[in-house]
């Protein structure tokens, strides 16, 4: 059973502190929306679907603590809770998808006793978490057929169980392929500067007994050229209506290299990561994180003081470089505008 990074119990969630992996497995309890927001911003919890799950519980905890006379006052305060959570990180659309889902649930219950609304919002957060793992398993089944027996698959960052409510998106496809009896090995880009590949993907795959080889980000091209990689699979933080994909910084470079070497480049993501409100990837906000993530590795300084630093946490891969988008509703290829729209029509 792969790890679930967020677990609800007795009115609180506990989340594994992903900043401390792989050397320490520390779980932290959260009972209020302010601390959940800080956990998202500081990347205790990270990964688009996992951020959505955490935010849903944040709204439920915020609702629990609102003292209001009527629904109007209650909902106005709930909007402030959502605004605090929305301000944590800008790129992963699952955050905003989850907040919208919780707001919608609250509006549907307008007129009900406030305690009933508070209970239903907690139930909605629990549903978001449970559904996410089921979605990932369905995505895995659709994607597993694309992974040949014996394949050596490169992945970038961590789109595994740690990035979701459980099982993973890109790594969920790997898990499903292995569970179907195929022999699959993974090459994990370390993924500078936050090192999600080295610290998280390598940890969770090794823990699950799936063969994983850690490489530096700058090795992918040479290993492709040497014929040591058969394909690429990554997650996503936001997919535009035309199939452009925002994902961890470095994903675009991997996609260009895969195209150069004639390798398939797959993106695994749930429908909650597809943002139909934006036409293309140029409209996706790209988070710029603190320079210290680049200049330091823990307490060790890697670069001179006072130099200029860029630290965009994501980049955008044009749809033309994407071989297929794997979702819980099936695999989309080619005409992503039509294909993604069809998924939503089917998924009413
Ligand atoms: C399954 S979504 C995982 C996605 O999220 C990661 O970003 P971060 O670790 O900064 O939250 C990365 O882009 C992964 O592909």
What is the model's pLDDT at position 332?
A: 98
The CB of 48 under 6 Å from ligand 1? The reply is yes
What is the model's pLDDT at position 87?
A: 98
Any binding-site annotation on 170? no
Any binding-site annotation on 220? no
> Which mutation among 88, 92, 133, 311 tests ligand 1's pocket best, with the greatest number of atoms within 8 A of CB?
92
Cα–Cα dist 112/267, whole Å: 42
Protein residue whose Cα sits closest to atom 1 of ligand 1: 159
Note if 237 is an active site residue.
Answer: yes
pLDDT in tens, 166-194: 999 999 999 999 999 999 999 999 999 99
- Which CATH number applies to 138-347: 1.10.10.60, 2.40.30.330, 3.40.50.10470, 3.40.50.1580? 3.40.50.10470
Q: How far is the CA of 65 from the centre of ligand 1 (A)?
A: 30
For every one of its 348 residues, what pLDDT tens digit does the chain have, with 9 covering 90 and above? 789 999 999 999 999 999 999 999 999 999 999 999 999 999 999 999 999 999 999 999 999 999 998 999 999 999 999 999 999 999 999 999 999 999 999 999 999 999 999 999 999 999 999 999 999 999 999 999 999 999 999 999 999 999 999 999 999 999 999 999 999 999 999 999 999 999 999 999 999 999 999 999 999 999 999 999 999 999 999 999 999 999 999 999 999 999 999 999 999 999 999 999 999 999 999 999 999 999 999 999 999 999 999 999 999 999 999 999 999 999 999 999 999 999 999 866
Pairing mode of beta strands 27-30, 212-215? unpaired
Domain ranges of the chain: 6-134, 138-347
CB-side neighbour CA atoms (13 Å) of 121 = 34
What is the model's pLDDT at position 348?
A: 66
What is the model's pLDDT at position 1?
A: 75
Q: How far is the CA of 49 from the centre of ligand 1 (A)?
A: 9
What is the model's pLDDT at position 339?
A: 97
**Architecture category of domain 6-134 in CATH:** Up-down Bundle (1.20)
Any binding-site annotation on 48? yes
Residue 249, token pair as written in the block: 């910084």
Q: How far is the CA of 286 from the centre of ligand 1 (A)?
A: 12
The CB of 163 under 6 Å from ligand 1? The reply is yes
Which ipTM score applies to this complex? 0.98
What is the model's pLDDT at position 57?
A: 98
CATH topology agreement for domains 6-134 and 138-347: no
Mean pLDDT value across the chain: 97
Q: Using the CB atoms, write b or e for 170-193: b if 16+ within 10 Å.
A: bbbbbbbbbeeebebbbbbbbbbb
Protein residue whose Cα sits closest to atom 7 of ligand 1: 47
Cα–Cα dist 100/110, whole Å: 15
> Which mutation among 54, 201, 233, 237 tests ligand 1's pocket best, with the greatest number of atoms within 8 A of CB?
237
The CB of 132 under 6 Å from ligand 1? The reply is no
Q: Which of 100, 62, 61 is nearest to 78 (CA)?
A: 62
Any binding-site annotation on 31? no
What pairs with residue 153 in β-bridges? Answer: 186, 231
What is the model's pLDDT at position 205?
A: 98
* Annotated catalytic residue, options 132, 237, 275, 315: 237
């Amino acid at each position: 059973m792969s790890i679930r990074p967020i677990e609800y119990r007795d009115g609180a969630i506990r989340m594994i502190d992903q900043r401390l992996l792989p050397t320490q497995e520390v779980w932290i309890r959260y009972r209020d929306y302010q601390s959940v927001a800080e956990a998202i911003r500081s990347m205790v919890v990270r990964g688009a679907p996992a951020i959505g799950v955490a935010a849903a519980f944040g709204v439920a905890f915020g609702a629990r603590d609102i003292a209001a006379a009527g629904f109007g006052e209650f909902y106005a305060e709930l909007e402030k809770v959502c605004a605090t959570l929305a301000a944590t990180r800008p790129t992963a659309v699952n955050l905003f998808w989850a907040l919208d889902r919780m707001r919608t649930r609250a509006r549907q219950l307008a007129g009900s006793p406030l305690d009933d609304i508070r209970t239903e919002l907690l139930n909605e957060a629990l549903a978001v978490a449970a559904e996410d793992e089921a979605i990932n398993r369905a995505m895995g089944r659709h994607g597993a057929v694309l992974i040949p027996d014996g394949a050596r698959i490169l992945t970038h960052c961590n789109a595994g169980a740690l990035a979701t409510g459980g099982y993973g998106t890109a790594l969920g496809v790997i898990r499903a392929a292995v569970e179907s009896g195929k022999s699959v090995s993974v090459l994990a880009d370390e993924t500078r500067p936050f090192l999600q590949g080295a610290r998280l993907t390598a940890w969770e795959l090794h823990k699950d007994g799936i063969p994983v080889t850690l490489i530096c980000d700058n090795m992918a091209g040479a290993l492709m050229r040497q014929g040591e990689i058969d394909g690429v699979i990554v997650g996503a933080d936001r997919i535009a209506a035309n199939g452009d994909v925002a994902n961890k910084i470095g994903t675009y470079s991997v996609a260009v290299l895969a195209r150069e070497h004639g390798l398939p480049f797959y993106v695994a993501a749930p429908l909650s990561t597809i943002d139909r409100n934006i036409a293309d990837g140029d409209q996706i906000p790209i988070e710029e994180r603190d320079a210290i993530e680049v200049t330091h590795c823990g307490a060790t300084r890697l670069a001179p003081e006072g130099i200029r630093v860029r630290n965009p946490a994501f980049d955008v891969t044009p749809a033309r470089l994407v071989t297929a988008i794997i979702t819980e509703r099936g695999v989309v290829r080619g005409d992503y505008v039509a294909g993604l729209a069809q998924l939503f029509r089917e998924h009413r």
